Structure 1
Amino acid sequence: MNAWYWTVLIVGIVTIFIVMLCLSRIVITCTYRHVAKDDLLQLKVQLWRFTIYKFETPMIHFNEVQQSVTFTEESESAGADKTEKKKWTWHTMIHFWRDSRRMLKQVVDLKGKVYAFLAHVTVQSFSWRTELGTGDAASAAKIAGLLWGVKGSLCGYLGTKLKWQKPPNLIVVPHYQAAGWAVSFSCIVSFRLGHAIRTGIKLIRARKAHAQSSNDSYQTG
């Protein structure tokens, strides 16, 4: 009787914990700022208001001669801090672009499942401010108008795929006399962990099925 009681109790507690975990929301905060030669990119992932992952790149340096990008990556996961200096060359970026295209093609093939997940993603806040100047008033005005159109179209498309708690804050400030540009971006999104797990399982199964069908077609061909 005692063993049965403890077994039921443990199973019940584990079940309740799993249900609570699946219903819990993952909150992702992403910010980026570029002013003059200073860059700052931050990414934070939270669960139950605890930070489970943090990523920060306080400096991004573009080397036009070597055609490379050097940045310092500071990350924190499970309480462990890690600082690493990385360098992306032109060849590294090409490989990254090819891998991204391959992954994007797979996502497009499975877009129904991806869109189903995006429908459960909530955008809590979205702010995108751009200041730009070319030194010429006419060209600055044209670029500002073009940028307004790009921002509006992008947010309009995302508005059909995601749930927004409030309208996005889009700002474009043209400088008609000075030359230069500055960007500040901030976005907070959240989704239930259960939806992410379910979508991940569906994508893995679909990729395995696609790979199996491709192998069968190759062998029969």
Structure 2
Amino acid sequence: MWIWLGVILILLLVFIAFVIILVSLIKFHLVVRKVNENETVQLEVTALYGLVRLRYLIPYIVFKNMKDGIQVEQQRSNNLVKDQSASSGQDINKDKVRYWADQFYDMLRATRGLQKWMTSTLKHISFQRLDWSTNVALSDAAHTATLSGALWGLKTTLIGWLSCYIRLSRRPRVFVVPVFGKPPLFVTEFECNGEIRCGRALYAGFVLIVRVLKVKGGLKKWISITAQGQKNGSSRS
């Protein structure tokens, strides 16, 4: 009898732990800054009540030329393995962009309703904060005012399009500040906080696998694309 009580107690504890994991939140914090020619991109992801932390940083982006495109320096770190971090750099040019586009279309063909799955998953991501501020200055005051108006139109259009796919818990804060009587200046900062339930993320992953399996050769194609991406990443590092 005591053995059965012990088994039941263990199963109950496992069930409670499973439920706690499912209702936990996966949170992310994205910051994109550009000050004239200097750019910084930082992404932090936390899960399981802060027990898992991932950090991705692009400290600088350098435009080389029209042929070679831009050079991006990347740094990745996590708290899963002590003192584990990785740094790598890569050149992004038109050939690289074309390659990524081909890979995306391959995934579309290898998955039944991938776009529908992406739209449905994004609907379950909640944004608690979305701020986007820009300070701009040109040598001519009239040109500064014109550029400010164009940026306002671009920002409102992008935010409106984005709100069709994600849930905004708070009204986005968008600013465009024209700076007159100053040297040419362009400073912009985009910051957002979002979250999704771990259970919803696991469900989305399960649905994605099912959609891949419904396409003949879909799983093989996904494995090939993933292996190719890991190979490219290891070769760069």
Render the CA deviation track for 1:20-64: whole Å, top value 9, x for unaligned: 101101110000111133222111011213452111122222212
Q: Which residue of 2 aligns with 1:126?
A: 130
1:198 shift after superposition: 0.6
| Residues in 1 aligned to 2:214 and 2:137: alpha-carbon distance in whole angstroms | 51
Q: Which residue of 1 aligns with 2:19?
A: 19
Q: How does 1:50-199 map to 2 (within 5 A)?
A: 50-64=51-65, 67-77=68-78, 78=80, 79-90=82-93, 91-103=95-107, 109-177=113-181, 178-199=183-204
One-letter amino acid matched to 1:59: Y
Residue 211 of structure 1 aligns to a residue whose secondary structure is coil
Judge which range, 120-129 or 91-100, deviates more: 91-100
Q: How many residues align?
A: 213
TM-score with structure 1 length normalisation? 0.83
| Residues in 1 aligned to 2:124 and 2:65: alpha-carbon distance in whole angstroms | 42
TM-score with structure 2 length normalisation? 0.78
Q: What are structure 2's unaligned runs of at least 5 residues?
A: 219-237
Render the CA deviation track for 1:103-144: whole Å, top value 9, x for unaligned: 467789334333332222110101111222332333332232
Q: How does 1:18-37 map to 2 (within 5 A)?
A: 18-37=18-37
| Residues in 2 aligned to 1:142 and 1:13: alpha-carbon distance in whole angstroms | 63
Q: Structure 1 pair 109/135, CA: closer, same or farther in 2 (3 Å)? A: farther
8 A Cα contact 1:25 1:191, kept in partner: yes
Residue 161 of structure 1 aligns to a residue whose secondary structure is coil
Residue 85 of structure 1 aligns to a residue whose secondary structure is strand
One-letter amino acid matched to 1:209: K
One-letter amino acid matched to 2:89: K
| Residues in 1 aligned to 2:153 and 2:66: alpha-carbon distance in whole angstroms | 34
Q: Structure 1 pair 106/188, CA: closer, same or farther in 2 (3 Å)? A: farther
Judge which range, 150-159 or 80-89, deviates more: 80-89
Q: What are structure 1's unaligned runs of at least 5 residues?
A: 214-221
1:180 shift after superposition: 3.4
Q: Structure 1 pair 190/107, CA: closer, same or farther in 2 (3 Å)? A: farther
Judge which range, 105-114 or 69-78, deviates more: 105-114
Q: Structure 1 pair 121/105, CA: closer, same or farther in 2 (3 Å)? A: farther
| Residues in 1 aligned to 2:213 and 2:195: alpha-carbon distance in whole angstroms | 28
| Residues in 1 aligned to 2:210 and 2:33: alpha-carbon distance in whole angstroms | 38
